[in-house]
Amino acid sequence: MKRLLAAAVLSACSALPAAAQALDQLTPYFSARYFTWQEHDGGRRILKERGPLFSTGVLLGIVTKSSITLSGKGELFGGEVDYDGETQAPHSVPVRTQVGYFGTTAQLDLGYRAETATLRGEPFVGIGHRWWLRDLQDTTSASGEPVSGYTESWQTLYGRFGARGRLILPRGVEVVAEGGAKYPFYTGNSVDFSSSGVTTFRPRPHWSAFAETGVTYRKARITLSYEGFRFNQSHERLVQGKNYFQPKSSSDIFGLNLGWTFR
């Protein structure tokens, strides 16, 4: 999947006119986010994770003389959140523990810009890749029974479309906004079972949304953002004589983002 994303980036860059007008944006940023992850089975919630994640990244934009835009984002994120759920079936018992997250995000959008002296609009389509480790730590049940943690390796490749805009106000103030939807056409969750090796579950795709709005003042950029991920239940896989599957899963991420624009 990473090779596919790299090929898409290269193709998009090659498709741009050779004489790009200018680097339109270069904005490093830092984000503090409130993250939730939930899994459901048969309409019943079987776990919920919630807590802070932190990320750092950079936004990059190019606009050509023909108003074609190429916008990219690269990001590292991580943190530790609370787990409130249960052990795996058939003998499920309530447990609480911590879950460590670490991952990367890469996105590339191709758009078209229309603008006046004070207003700018830009519909776009794009592709993104998100990879992350979900590390469930060892714990004990309420009865004192030891419960072993494990690590999942996730990745999803998704298409996205939407629009972004900018309203230019006096004294160097600008209002920015972006929103749209995305569809994960590939998702894999790989788990290393101790006696049978790595098994990869393929959660089925579902639409989700993203949005961001805020202001820039001269070089400073402050925004609030939302990003959702939705995955339907995977097909069952036979592991060690038992059928396992990735339950229906969802994630909601609310962020406060602080950036400094060099361009």
> With 0-12 CB in 10 A as exposed, 13-18 as middle and 19+ as buried, what is 120?
middle
**CATH architecture of the domain with range 2-260:** Beta Barrel (2.40)
Distance CA 11, CA 228 (A): 28
pLDDT of residue 5: 46
Structure tokens at 25: 């944006």
Sequence ranges of the domains in the chain: 2-260
In this structure, the chain runs to a length of 263
Q: What is the pLDDT of residues 32-62, one digit of tens each?
A: 999 999 999 989 999 999 999 999 999 999 9
Write out pLDDT tens, residues 84-102. Answer: 988 776 667 888 999 999 9
- Between residues 19 and 262, the one the model is more confident about: 262
